[in-house]
Amino acid sequence: MTDPNTAKASKTHGNIIPALHYDDAKAAIEFLCRAFGFEKHAIYQNEDGIVEHAELVLGNGMIMLGQARDSTYGKLTRRPNDIGGVTQSIYIIVPDADLHYARAVAASTEIVMPLEEQDYGGKVYSARDPEGHIWSFGTYDPFG
């Protein structure tokens, strides 16, 4: 019997999914798709057209995001612009860092660390999205 607390991710999907909040979730979705190559998997809006929950995929990974709200969960989290910085960042493995970097630059993304070869292997760059979240993309794969 499989212990649900230690269940492994499938070979095609991970079991860790970052969740982010944005002041303007619709604009964030469009930016993430245009600049970083995410694809819309699911978007759920309320009757006022506010994005309550969205799922975006890139490769075999996924992020979830939604509009910042004054809900029980929303009160537990803060966006980077609320606190003047970030407390975490997201690293995503891409097959071609040069191509991915060029896409981000072409979308006028704020690059905070340019594309560079790393001592531990691979190429990596970091960018800030319009609401302050830091994203790193690179070819280094810690899984080997």
- Asked if the structure places residue 101 within a domain, the reply is yes
- Asked if the structure places residue 70 within a domain, the reply is yes
Q: What is the extent of the structural domain holding 43?
A: 19-80+88-138
- Asked if the structure places residue 143 within a domain, the reply is no
Pairing label, strands 123-128, 134-138: antiparallel
Q: Could you write out the DSSP letters of every residue in 79-133?
A: -HHHHTS-S-EEEEE-S-HHHHHHHHHHTT-EEEEEEEE-TTSSEEEEEE-TTS-
Question: pLDDT (tens digit, 9 = 90+) per residue, 22-79?
Answer: 999 999 999 999 999 999 999 999 999 999 999 999 999 999 999 998 888 877 787 8
- Asked if the structure places residue 95 within a domain, the reply is yes
CATH of the domain at 95: 3.10.180.10
Instruction: Kindly tell me if the per-residue pLDDT of 98 is higher than 70.
Output: yes
- Asked if the structure places residue 117 within a domain, the reply is yes
- The count of structural domains within the chain is 1
Question: pLDDT (tens digit, 9 = 90+) per residue, 132-142?
Answer: 999 999 999 99
pTM: 0.87
Instruction: Kindly tell me if the per-residue pLDDT of 4 is higher than 70.
Output: no
Cα(41)–Cα(54) distance, integer angstroms: 8
Q: What is the pLDDT of residue 12?
A: 67
- Asked if the structure places residue 57 within a domain, the reply is yes
- Asked if the structure places residue 116 within a domain, the reply is yes
